[in-house]
A and B are shown apart, each in its own frame.
Chain A
Amino acid sequence: MIKKQWLQDLKAIPFLLPFFVAYMIFTIFPIFKGLEMSLYDWTLVRKIEFVGLENYVNMFTDQHFWRTLWNTTFFVILTTPTMVLLALGLALLSNLNTKLKIFFRGSFFIPSILSVSVISFLMIFMLQPYNGLVNNVIQMIGIDAEPKWMADQGLAWVTIVVVTLWWTVGFNMILFLAALQDIPESLYEASEIDGASRWDMFRYITLPQLIPIGRVVLLLQILASYKVFAQILLITGGGPGGATRPLIQYIYEVGFNQNNLGYAATMSYALFFILLILSIIQLKNQRSGEN
């Protein structure tokens, strides 16, 4: 019997091997290589010399590191709560038994399947001053203004947050929607017999049932938001004047334009640790919540 189990495990190996090899080469190896790089003065072409923790020490006094880390964090603060609420709201809307159910689900989800370059250029097109759609509509309804959606420091953030919400809310909505449909109908029936109002049902049945998936969405959202890069690079280029430049853009510039892969790897590790700590806190929270 034991031997047979062993044989079964062996049979699994050829199926697991391709992924395992790819995973080792493209994920695990670069992680350790990056750690090594962060300890060296390392250009795009070759490693120059071992500098120990010098890159890490420099990082703590590098104002651009802190500025861009703050920009990224600011983005996380802006998008995470709005994303959770919006995803929940849209999920509730698409869960209603109306004739528009399929339309809602489709139209909320479709942006998620577009690539970042497509959604970015769509937005640039719509938001450009003087002849963009949005400003024309604003002027059509009688407001005499020419908002600079991508060039004004405050508005640039609004643009990026709105674009990101619109683009990625669909996936989170699906998660909520799946959880909504998992709530047993019997709970609602029982509460109805007990005379609960619709609000009571939402407050005491729906919301508590959604908390586990809510935690997952929250964690995924924070991790994803900390990695924000592409849509900012494409829409504002980190501008105006670095006002929306996220940490990953700075890492990219240091690595590939300033030819300093060692320091770029160092900052990547800093981001990695931030994400690691946030994930641990979240997971711990989740466990204590389940107990």
Chain B
Amino acid sequence: MKKGFSAFIGVVFVALILAACSDDSGSAGNGVEIPKGATEVVMWNLFGGGDAEYMDEIVTEFNESQEAYFVNNVQQEYDEYYTKLLTSVGSGKGPDLGIAHSHVLPELVSQGLVTNIDDYAADVGLNWDEFNQNVLDVTIYDGNNYAVPIDTHPEIMFINNDLVDDAGLLNDDGTPNFEETPEGFVEFLTSLKETLPEDKMAFAFSSTGEDPYRIWWALYNQMGGEHLVSGDLDNPTYALDHEKAIAAAEYLYDLYHTHEVTPLDLADFYSDFQSGNAAVMSTGVWATGIWETTDDLNFTPMPFPNMFGQEAAWASSHTFVLPYYDDADEEAQKGAVEFMKFATDNGADWARAGHIPSKDTVLESDEFKEMPYRSEYAEVADYVKYVDRTVHARGIQDIVVRNLDTYWAGDATAEEVFAMIEQEVTDLIAE
């Protein structure tokens, strides 16, 4: 018995040593074989779940379409992605091609971690005019393109056609029957709640985290609010319009607490909608890819209602970036930009994940128009409101989400919460 045990320990020990010593030279360490004669372009991506496989397919298509470059697509853990990207690029050990959300670009640009793409773009024939201008704008700093937008992914709304129909609130053309006003939307949700059976909910929505924050941001912008901070990338000033911010938050608060159309603290509002137990839900466009692969879910995606005058929706964009290195391999960088062009030209493939492709030329293509659901919300790309450009974007989001959570939970008033946000954000940007 004892001998068996020590033998076991010995085997485990040897295995660990072998694993630690295994040779990973010649590639990014993921065991991918680089074809002879091709320049390897190491790409890091942050996708998980549904998105990752679509990006994988685009990479495979690219690698098969030509022989000069080979994109080695390395999937990274999302939670630690930016920490890893910033530190490895900073120490010269990062990838040749990275993916970043639009709100992180200011950090990357300000710290000199990404390269201006303009020269390479001209080289490989990447035509900026083909992009949706509203989306392209998030990648331009001081007149230079520091990233290539892949998509825009706004927060939109989904309805369960069957449940809305059961409640008698579906028009003949399949659209929900309600007036796009603050009262109209409440009335719609309230009558859903009253008409549907007890075990169905009107509106499946989270009462913590990013989703309510995104709707708050959309409503704030619909009311004419424009910024949270403004001015310089590194040293912005606080610019939240408290009157509108509070009004926007109160509207959402009332949905939880006054009208009680959405139950508080749902553990998984995605599964409530997916299992057909909710008439309405709101989250990012990426859910489209999930719903359409769900059996027996009859749904329609649509923009979140524009109820307060201006059209506005929260959105972020995935973008390709070219990390900056003093001794960058120009051939690999050129290959990276070739891939950026290829991937955005084939934006319709990426649209299968639910995202809105960044190129107008793709949006107007027959291939995209023939896809189900996507065109229902593609128009949102024209009026999405990105969060303010600042190196503090991630820090500010933490602060706002945490404080709004206190308000949704009913532990503080809107005035208290926004006073706290002002203080915390001011402290953060003063550093």
Chain A residues within 8 Å of B, Cβ to Cβ:
43-46, 64, 124-125, 128-132, 148, 150-153, 237-243, 245, 253, 256-260, 263
Given contact pairs A151-B207, A240-B208, A258 touches B394 in the complex (Cβ within 8 A): yes
Contact call A259/B391, Cβ cutoff below 8 A = yes
Could you list 24 A-B pairs, sorted by A, with CB under 8 Å?
A45-B87, A128-B267, A128-B268, A129-B264, A129-B267, A151-B264, A238-B402, A239-B208, A240-B208, A240-B411, A241-B406, A241-B407, A241-B409, A241-B412, A242-B402, A245-B402, A257-B398, A258-B392, A258-B395, A258-B428, A259-B107, A259-B391, A259-B395, A260-B431
Contact call A240/B406, Cβ cutoff below 8 A = yes
Other contacts beyond A45-B113, A148-B264: 4, CB < 8 A: A45-B111, A153-B409, A241-B412, A259-B394
> Which of B86, B403, B409 has a CB less than 8 Å from the CB of A151?
B409
Question: Can you list the 8 inter-chain pairs with the closest CB atoms, starting with the nearest?
Answer: A241-B406, A128-B267, A45-B90, A258-B395, A151-B265, A240-B409, A241-B405, A44-B86
Cα-based distance from A44 to B83 in the complex (angstroms): 7
Cα-based distance from A141 to B83 in the complex (angstroms): 48
Closest to A259 in B: B107
Closest CB of chain A to B274's CB: distance in Å? 14
> Per-residue 0/1 for B389-425: is the Cβ within 8 Å of any A Cβ (1 yes, 0 no)?
0011011001000110111010110000000000010
Contact call A253/B398, Cβ cutoff below 8 A = yes
Closest to A256 in B: B83
Cα-based distance from A43 to B87 in the complex (angstroms): 9
Q: Is B32 close to A, CB under 8 A?
A: no
Cα-based distance from A52 to B42 in the complex (angstroms): 40
| A242 contacts across to B, CB distance below 8 A | 402-403, 405-406
> Per-residue 0/1 for B265-280: is the Cβ within 8 Å of any A Cβ (1 yes, 0 no)?
1111000000000000
Closest CB of chain A to B314's CB: distance in Å? 19
Contact call B111/A43, Cβ cutoff below 8 A = yes
| B424 contacts across to A, CB distance below 8 A | 64
Contact call A130/B263, Cβ cutoff below 8 A = yes
Cα-based distance from A128 to B165 in the complex (angstroms): 30
| A46 contacts across to B, CB distance below 8 A | 90, 111
| A263 contacts across to B, CB distance below 8 A | 431
Cα-based distance from A20 to B264 in the complex (angstroms): 53
Chain B residues within 8 Å of A, Cβ to Cβ:
82-83, 86-87, 89-90, 107, 111, 113, 207-209, 263-268, 391-392, 394-395, 398, 402-403, 405-407, 409, 411-412, 424, 428, 431
Given contact pairs A44-B90, A45-B113, A151 touches B208 in the complex (Cβ within 8 A): yes
Contact call A241/B398, Cβ cutoff below 8 A = no
Contact call A257/B267, Cβ cutoff below 8 A = no
Cα-based distance from A6 to B263 in the complex (angstroms): 74
| A148 contacts across to B, CB distance below 8 A | 264-265
Closest CB of chain A to B416's CB: distance in Å? 11
Closest to B265 in A: A151
Cα-based distance from A151 to B407 in the complex (angstroms): 12
Closest CB of chain B to A65's CB: distance in Å? 11
Cα-based distance from A151 to B428 in the complex (angstroms): 27
Closest to B267 in A: A128
Cα-based distance from A253 to B428 in the complex (angstroms): 12
Closest CB of chain B to A84's CB: distance in Å? 32
| A150 contacts across to B, CB distance below 8 A | 265
Closest CB of chain B to A145's CB: distance in Å? 13
Closest CB of chain A to B87's CB: distance in Å? 6
Closest CB of chain A to B197's CB: distance in Å? 15
| A128 contacts across to B, CB distance below 8 A | 267-268
Given contact pairs A45-B113, A46-B90, A151-B207, A240 touches B267 in the complex (Cβ within 8 A): no
Contact call B405/A240, Cβ cutoff below 8 A = yes
Closest CB of chain B to A134's CB: distance in Å? 12
Closest CB of chain A to B262's CB: distance in Å? 12
| B89 contacts across to A, CB distance below 8 A | 45
Contact call B87/A44, Cβ cutoff below 8 A = yes
Closest CB of chain B to A36's CB: distance in Å? 17
Cα-based distance from A240 to B403 in the complex (angstroms): 9
Cα-based distance from A153 to B265 in the complex (angstroms): 13
Cα-based distance from A240 to B209 in the complex (angstroms): 10
Cα-based distance from A259 to B234 in the complex (angstroms): 12
| B403 contacts across to A, CB distance below 8 A | 241-242
| B409 contacts across to A, CB distance below 8 A | 151-153, 239-241
Contact call A257/B394, Cβ cutoff below 8 A = yes
Closest CB of chain A to B89's CB: distance in Å? 8
Which of the listed residues A125, A238, A241, A260 has the most CB atoms from chain B within 10 Å of its own CB? Answer: A241
Cα-based distance from A148 to B405 in the complex (angstroms): 14
Contact call A129/B394, Cβ cutoff below 8 A = no
Closest CB of chain B to A130's CB: distance in Å? 7
Cα-based distance from A106 to B263 in the complex (angstroms): 40
| B391 contacts across to A, CB distance below 8 A | 259
Cα-based distance from A183 to B391 in the complex (angstroms): 62
Closest to B403 in A: A241
| B405 contacts across to A, CB distance below 8 A | 239-242
Cα-based distance from A150 to B111 in the complex (angstroms): 38
Closest to A61 in B: B427
| A152 contacts across to B, CB distance below 8 A | 409
Which of the listed residues A43, A124, A153 has the most CB atoms from chain B within 10 Å of its own CB? Answer: A43
Cα-based distance from A61 to B398 in the complex (angstroms): 20
Closest CB of chain A to B248's CB: distance in Å? 18
| B428 contacts across to A, CB distance below 8 A | 258
Cα-based distance from A132 to B268 in the complex (angstroms): 11
Cα-based distance from A199 to B326 in the complex (angstroms): 76
Closest CB of chain B to A38's CB: distance in Å? 15
Closest CB of chain A to B114's CB: distance in Å? 12
| B406 contacts across to A, CB distance below 8 A | 240-243
Closest CB of chain B to A179's CB: distance in Å? 25
| B398 contacts across to A, CB distance below 8 A | 253, 257-258
Closest to B111 in A: A45
| A132 contacts across to B, CB distance below 8 A | 267
Cα-based distance from A239 to B405 in the complex (angstroms): 8
Cα-based distance from A131 to B424 in the complex (angstroms): 36
Closest CB of chain A to B357's CB: distance in Å? 29
